[in-house]
Amino acid sequence: MPDQPSASATQSRINDFVLKIGTVNGTGSASANGLLMKALFRMGVPVTGKNLFPSNIQGLPTWYEIRANRDGYMAREGRVDVMVAMNAQTYGKDLAEVTPGGFFIYDSTWPREKTLSRDDVTVLGVPLAKLCNEHFSVARVRILMKNIAYVGVLCALLDIDRAIVKQLLEETFAAKPKLVDSNLEAINLGWDYAQANFTCPLPVRAEAMGDNSKHILIDGNSAAALGCVFAGATVGAWYPITPSTSLMDGFQGYCEKFRKDPDTGENRFCIVQAEDELAAAGMVLGANWVGARAFTPTSGPGISLMSEFIGFAYYAEIPSVFFDVQRVGPSTGMPTRTQQCDVLLCAYASHGDTRHPLLLPADPRECFEFAVAAFDLADRLQTPVFVLSDLDIGMNDWMIPELEWDDRYRPDRGKLVGPKELADMEKFFRYLDRDGDGIAARTLPGQDAKGAYFVRGSGHNRYGGYTEDSAEYQDVVDRLMVKWRTAAGLVPAAKLRPADQPTRVGIIAYGSSDGAVNEALDRLNEEGLGLDYLRIRAFPFGEEVRAFLDSHDTVFVVEQNRDAQLRSLLLVELGASNEQLVPLLHYNGMPIPSRCVEDAVRAHLDEEVAA
């Protein structure tokens, strides 16, 4: 028997392991990986999946990392317990990555190079290609089924419930029962081989636990798209760009489902694939100008192109919603890798004195909620609002508590005056702040000539007229700062997770770093290192952020970019001190692992003690 695993080589890890699968993109491995992930989910095991893929359509290495964790930790951990190496090109790299005591599964149809062995890793060969070639006759089917066959192997080795896998296949292929049969045959090929040749299950394995029925698996882009539908957005304009494309695909899909006029079949939505991002931004402004809720999903390069219109919307005060699903920059960078690198770009996008509210969702649930909030804020504040998610949140499947909706919700359209209100006014002036909150009332085209005004990006006074008068110009931009302060009280407040004991050491993070920070804090806490944690959820910063800085001597600022961009905002906007804010940065393009946070905090605090 080849490579018999020895149970003693590793400690047992039940519902606490990382499974990584290396394949070649374009071979259909996504469905196999999704199947594994969902099967674990249905067994009640908390699970997340990270797709680490190339910017290419076919033929390059791609990995899928599944973390099953009974405590519900969702971040990457930084270890690999079981590696399935389906891609001969990356065998060496994949083997090197396995944590000592782990397992390495490969396709043994072809001889493996001698150099590829490790004493501290159990290597298991399964002749997957051979099994599938003998069993299936069509070439394309053989390739696809090879992937399904490793699902069978893993069911045996990790004790994943085959009945659940069968059920999932039946649901997926409800319309094509024949496919259920061939997929099950492939599952059994792998399963039977593993049972006959290895001691199953491995000490690293799954076990049915709790109940996940109040949770869902969803990616952030789909959740944000749903948020747009529920917010009542009707116009979407976009230019395709990874990793934001699936947001508009999602919006289109949900609109097809929910927004067809039941009588006529006509669309209660309008999606325009623009000629570029400059145009997409213009379309969003045009639609919001006439009173339709409109948005555009994009990524960094798109924001760069949209910048002139963003400044226009800021100055002319046009509500607009921009989703920036961040990817690795600068320039084209690494389009299929994740970063939080557009914080400064979006905060001050466009020339001149401009500043924009940013919403920073930490997971798909907040993508949904913040999408709705973004439209309300944009209408209320009459300004561009950014939702900054990233590739990790946007494109990976996250396990989150079910999305909730309150049917009493009604959009906050802000200060809109129509013919009725206009009738009571002697004259309408577009930029007159009557309430002292920096927000003037607006009118919509097509309603009443009395409310007509001329939107312009050129100098204008509080009445909406063109001006080159210094005082009149300054009057308007100063009011915009009053509005900015109003915004600070309206955006989602930061969330505090206090340490068990009072401490002067704090940690700040935002967006997709949240999972890694929470897990790291638990670990540090076990060692007696307690930190207060403030998760920032928006810019401009509310009073709670200032209070947090005031009450801590050392504050780690966790970010997934090189330049500590949010830290810069804290320094500039709140006058925090350089020494107080310790940057904790991870920017290699992979989602930040909890270990990175944990190690950096420990190292810094040790150093401080030593100093």
Between residue 292 and residue 311, which ones bind other proteins under the rule CB under 8 A?
A: 292, 294, 308-309
Helix (H) or strand (E) holding 272: strand 270-273
Q: CA–CA separation, 428 vs 381, rounded Å?
A: 19
Query: Which residue, chain included where needed, has tokens 């003690």?
Result: 609
Q: CA–CA separation, 2 vs 194, rounded Å?
A: 11
Is residue 327 within 8 A of residue 337, CB to CB? The reply is yes
Taking the least distance from each CB to other proteins, the nearer of 368 and 539 is: 368
Residue from 60, 88, 116, 403 touching other proteins (CB under 8 A): that is 403
Min. distance of Cβ 92 from other proteins in angstroms? 37
Under rule CB under 8 A, residue 217 binds other proteins: yes
Min. distance of Cβ 39 from other proteins in angstroms? 11
Q: CA–CA separation, 395 vs 519, rounded Å?
A: 22
Token couple for 56: 């290419």
Q: Which of residues 21-40 bind other proteins (CB under 8 A)?
A: 38
Token couple for 484: 């900015």
Under rule CB under 8 A, residue 416 binds other proteins: no
Burial class (CB in 10 A: 0-12, 13-18, 19+), 410: exposed
Is residue 428 within 8 A of residue 416, CB to CB? The reply is no
Under rule CB under 8 A, residue 164 binds other proteins: no
> Which of 306, 355, 276, 288 has the alpha carbon at shortest distance from 572?
355
Under rule CB under 8 A, residue 380 binds other proteins: no
Min. distance of Cβ 427 from other proteins in angstroms? 13
Residue from 26, 72, 78, 286 touching other proteins (CB under 8 A): that is 286
Residues with Cβ within 8 Å of 264's Cβ and at least 6 positions away in sequence, in order, are none
Taking the least distance from each CB to other proteins, the nearer of 410 and 420 is: 410
Under rule CB under 8 A, residue 405 binds other proteins: yes
Taking the least distance from each CB to other proteins, the nearer of 150 and 312 is: 312
Residues with Cβ within 8 Å of 98's Cβ and at least 6 positions away in sequence, in order, are 80, 81, 83, 104, 118, 121
Under rule CB under 8 A, residue 457 binds other proteins: yes
Residue from 120, 134, 353, 402 touching other proteins (CB under 8 A): that is 402
> Which of 321, 328, 338, 323 has the alpha carbon at shortest distance from 393?
338
Q: CA–CA separation, 359 vs 536, rounded Å?
A: 9
Sign of the C-alpha dihedral computed for residues 315, 321, 326 and 332 taken in this order: negative
Strand partners, 466: 460
Residue from 406, 526, 550, 607 touching other proteins (CB under 8 A): that is 406
Min. distance of Cβ 210 from other proteins in angstroms? 13
Min. distance of Cβ 563 from other proteins in angstroms? 29
Is residue 564 within 8 A of residue 585, CB to CB? The reply is yes
Q: Which of residues 463-502 bind other proteins (CB under 8 A)?
A: 466
Give φ, ψ of 165 to 5 degrees.
-60, -45
Residue from 43, 129, 281, 597 touching other proteins (CB under 8 A): that is 281
Residue from 88, 179, 455, 482 touching other proteins (CB under 8 A): that is 455
Q: Which of residues 113-152 bind other proteins (CB under 8 A)?
A: none
Helix (H) or strand (E) holding 157: helix 139-158
Min. distance of Cβ 331 from other proteins in angstroms? 21
Under rule CB under 8 A, residue 237 binds other proteins: yes
Min. distance of Cβ 254 from other proteins in angstroms? 8
Q: CA–CA separation, 555 vs 532, rounded Å?
A: 9
Under rule CB under 8 A, residue 290 binds other proteins: yes
Taking the least distance from each CB to other proteins, the nearer of 450 and 462 is: 450
Select from 126-134, 175-183, 451-459, 566-574 the region that touches other proteins (CB under 8 A): 451-459
Under rule CB under 8 A, residue 582 binds other proteins: no
Q: CA–CA separation, 158 vs 403, rounded Å?
A: 30
Q: CA–CA separation, 418 vs 590, rounded Å?
A: 50
DSSP secondary-structure letter at 111?
P
Give φ, ψ of 316 to 5 degrees.
-85, -5
Q: How many residues bind other proteins (CB under 8 A)?
A: 77
Helix (H) or strand (E) holding 94: helix 91-97
Under rule CB under 8 A, residue 42 binds other proteins: yes
Q: Which of residues 176-215 bind other proteins (CB under 8 A)?
A: 212-213, 215
Residue from 53, 289, 428, 510 touching other proteins (CB under 8 A): that is 289
Min. distance of Cβ 145 from other proteins in angstroms? 25
Residue from 179, 180, 278, 432 touching other proteins (CB under 8 A): that is 278
Min. distance of Cβ 350 from other proteins in angstroms? 10
Taking the least distance from each CB to other proteins, the nearer of 13 and 293 is: 293
Cα end-to-end span (Å), the chain: 57
SS3 86: coil
Is residue 46 within 8 A of residue 70, CB to CB? The reply is yes
Give φ, ψ of 67 to 5 degrees.
-110, 120
Taking the least distance from each CB to other proteins, the nearer of 110 and 409 is: 409
SS3 570: helix
Under rule CB under 8 A, residue 110 binds other proteins: no
Alpha-carbon distances of 403 from 48, 192, 400, rounded to whole Å: 17, 40, 8
Q: CA–CA separation, 187 vs 35, rounded Å?
A: 11
Min. distance of Cβ 206 from other proteins in angstroms? 17
Site string for other proteins, 238-277 (x = CB under 8 A): ----------------x--xxx-x--xxxxxxxxx-xxx-
Min. distance of Cβ 407 from other proteins in angstroms? 5
Find the largest Cα–Cα distance for the chain.
93
Min. distance of Cβ 390 from other proteins in angstroms? 21
DSSP secondary-structure letter at 84?
E
Residue from 32, 283, 303, 494 touching other proteins (CB under 8 A): that is 283
Under rule CB under 8 A, residue 160 binds other proteins: no
Min. distance of Cβ 465 from other proteins in angstroms? 9
Residue from 2, 240, 445, 498 touching other proteins (CB under 8 A): that is 445
Min. distance of Cβ 561 from other proteins in angstroms? 29
Residue from 446, 502, 528, 575 touching other proteins (CB under 8 A): that is 446
Min. distance of Cβ 286 from other proteins in angstroms? 3
Min. distance of Cβ 211 from other proteins in angstroms? 11
Q: CA–CA separation, 415 vs 441, rounded Å?
A: 5
Under rule CB under 8 A, residue 452 binds other proteins: yes
